[in-house]
């Protein structure tokens, strides 16, 4: 029954489905439980989020059973559901991949008789083949981070060491880190590249301690390493022993002039429970932030992603999506992929009518339901204040600034008039609100710290 549903889906899905289901294997279907095996967490999360809801509907139609899925992680799949794209674009691997004709069998049999296919493993590991400089969309919001990353990879310009990339979730930090690894590997195939998350560094450190293998651990990251790329360094917060180990690793590599690239969702000085000596070293190179992309950049991102995935869209759709999803590149790209998946399952074209119908109960509804109270609550949570502080007569600098930010966001995101906002903020005159909005508008343009505060609150509002 599962292969029937998959067969029907594939008939309407030439590219996107095959790319992702090349990393999924059907194991068993017992009662109401379907067992699927995923090549890695990246594939599992993507298929579960973007394909499973619609596939479950098809299975319900075919079998009359509401199916639940049980997932198993296994990097070595023997019978992937789809063999149409054997280059495995969703499997994290570097450049110089084998050509499709070297891997693809001359025929495709039924799902339960698919042959085992040998896949080449090329170092460095855990690098997404799609995250390259060539498909990174550059705009004013990320121009500095992109240029610094190219230089760090040896692409010309002054090389800063360390390079500290910071910005909100889903804005492209990980993309740039992977792109650096690709470029280094392309230029220096023998370079020893270590890419990992701060969480993985911690886990490997703990394992080394438990099994008395610290010499091996230290050799791996201090001696057998030419480029160290660490994602989400903020997760080292409060981990004293791990910070101590990373501090000495950092020093060993920096003294040997080995490139270090670190990402974080905060500026170095804003990292909580992080040792001052580490913060000082993070800030000693170049701190390049990535801001929320402008509309033009978001439109370019949609077009670029559509071209990479083979999704046919027009400019009106790209602009509509860019206006609907403002704060997160990952969410923007994910929305496009989800629409393409739904399109392939239903046989409908990704046109404006289809997109509006699919998004009307998510992004449009979310914007319409946002209230002054929602914005006030988000601002207070960000600045650790009470809602009553915003409506009080208190003119303390911190409270006044938070109040002005809340007024600005209300005016930007809601249809309230200045007098209405004045009443919502403790009965203030409309001219006071006008002055506050203009003041924050200017500061947002000129002051990176103010811009960071506003964008952090906007990200919070985007997910509520």
Q: What is the mean pLDDT of residues 271-300?
A: 90
Nearest to 306 by CA among 267, 350, 353: 350
Q: How many Cα atoms are found within 13 Å in the side-chain-facing hemisphere of 357?
A: 9
Contact 266, 174 (CB under 8 A): no
pLDDT tops 70 at residue 85: no
* pLDDT tens-digit series, residues 161-204: 999 999 888 889 999 999 999 999 988 888 999 999 999 999 99
Q: What is the mean pLDDT of residues 154-167?
A: 86
Contact 157, 150 (CB under 8 A): yes
* pLDDT tens-digit series, residues 385-396: 888 889 998 888
Task: Using the structure block, give the residue that is written with the tokens 């194991």.
Answer: 27
Contact 10, 82 (CB under 8 A): yes
Find all residues with CB under 8 Å of 55, minimum gap 6, and list them: 5, 9, 345
User: Which segment of 9-23, 124-138, 267-281, 351-365 scores lowest on mean pLDDT?
Assistant: 9-23
Mean pLDDT of the chain: 80
- With cut-offs at 50, 70 and 90, classify the pLDDT of residue 91: very low
- With cut-offs at 50, 70 and 90, classify the pLDDT of residue 460: confident
CA–CA dist 342, 362 (Å, integer): 15
pLDDT tops 70 at residue 118: no
Share of the chain above pLDDT 90, in %: 33
pLDDT for res 463:
56
Q: What is the mean pLDDT of residues 316-332?
A: 83
Q: Cis (ω within 30 of 0) for the bond into 162?
A: yes
Q: What is the mean pLDDT of residues 207-212?
A: 92
- With cut-offs at 50, 70 and 90, classify the pLDDT of residue 206: very high
Instruction: Set out the domains of the chain in order of their start, with CATH numbers.
Output: 2-113 (3.30.300.180), 133-290 (3.40.50.300), 301-365 (1.10.8.60), 372-463 (1.10.1750.10)
pLDDT for res 419:
85
Strand 193-197 versus strand 163-167 pairing type:
unpaired
Q: What is the mean pLDDT of residues 22-48?
A: 78
Return the C-alpha torsion angle 108, 111, 112, 114, nearest 10: 30
Find all residues with CB under 8 Å of 88, minimum gap 6, and list them: 22, 23, 39, 119
pLDDT for res 180:
95
CA–CA dist 229, 162 (Å, integer): 10
Higher-pLDDT residue of 213, 325: 213
* pLDDT tens-digit series, residues 216-237: 999 999 999 999 999 999 999 8
Contact 289, 448 (CB under 8 A): yes
Q: How many Cα atoms are found within 13 Å in the side-chain-facing hemisphere of 99?
A: 2
Q: Cis (ω within 30 of 0) for the bond into 124?
A: yes
Predicted TM-score (pTM) of the model is 0.56
Residues constituting the chain: 464
pLDDT for res 107:
29
């Amino acid at each position: 029954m599962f292969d029937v549903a998959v067969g029907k889906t594939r008939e309407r899905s030439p590219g996107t489905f095959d790319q992702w289901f090349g990393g999924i294997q059907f194991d068993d279907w017992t009662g109401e439980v379907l067992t699927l095996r995923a090549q890695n967490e990246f594939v599992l999360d993507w298929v579960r989020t973007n394909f499973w809801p619609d596939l479950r509907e098809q299975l319900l139609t075919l079998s009359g059973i509401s199916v639940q899925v049980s997932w198993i992680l296994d990097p070595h799949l023997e019978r992937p559901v789809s063999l149409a794209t054997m280059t495995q674009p969703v499997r994290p691997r570097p450049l110089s991949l084998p050509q499709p004709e070297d891997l693809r069998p001359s025929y495709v049999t039924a799902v339960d008789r698919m042959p085992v296919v040998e896949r080449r493993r090329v170092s460095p590991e855990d690098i997404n083949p799609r995250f390259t400089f060539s498909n990174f969309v550059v705009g004013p919001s990320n121009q500095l981070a992109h240029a610094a990353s190219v230089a760090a990879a040896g692409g010309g310009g002054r090389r800063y060491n360390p390079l500290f990339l910071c910005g909100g979730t889903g804005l492209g930090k990980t993309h740039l880190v992977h792109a650096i690894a690709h470029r280094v590997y392309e230029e220096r195939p023998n370079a020893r590249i270590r890419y990992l998350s701060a969480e993985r560094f911690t886990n490997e450190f703990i394992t080394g301690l438990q099994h008395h293998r610290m010499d091996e651990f230290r050799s791996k990251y201090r001696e057998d390493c030419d480029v160290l790329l660490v994602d989400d360094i903020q997760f080292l917060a409060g981990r004293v022993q791990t910070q101590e180990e990373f501090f000495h690793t950092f020093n060993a590599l920096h003294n040997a002039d080995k490139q270090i690239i670190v990402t974080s969702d905060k500026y170095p000085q804003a990292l909580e429970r992080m040792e001052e000596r580490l913060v000082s070293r993070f800030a000693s190179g170049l701190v390049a932030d990535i801001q929320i992309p402008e509309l033009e950049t978001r439109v370019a991102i949609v077009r670029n992603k559509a071209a990479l995935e083979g999704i046919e869209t027009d400019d009106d759709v790209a602009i509509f999506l860019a206006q609907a999803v403002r704060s997160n590149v990952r969410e923007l790209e994910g929305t496009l992929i989800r629409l393409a998946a739904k399109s392939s399952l239903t046989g409908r074209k990704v046109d404006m009518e289809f997109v509006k119908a699919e998004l009307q109960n998510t992004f449009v509804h979310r914007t319409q339901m946002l209230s002054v109270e929602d914005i006030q609550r988000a601002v207070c949570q960000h600045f650790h204040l009470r809602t009553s502080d915003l409506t009080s007569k208190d003119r303390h600098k911190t409270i006044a600034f938070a109040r002005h930010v809340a007024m600005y966001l209300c005016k930007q995101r809601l249809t309230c008039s200045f007098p209405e906002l004045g009443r919502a903020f403790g009965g203030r005159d409309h001219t006071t609100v006008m002055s506050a909005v203009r003041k924050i508008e200017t500061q947002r343009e000129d002051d990176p710290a103010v811009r960071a505060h506003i964008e952090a609150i906007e990200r919070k509002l985007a997910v509520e």
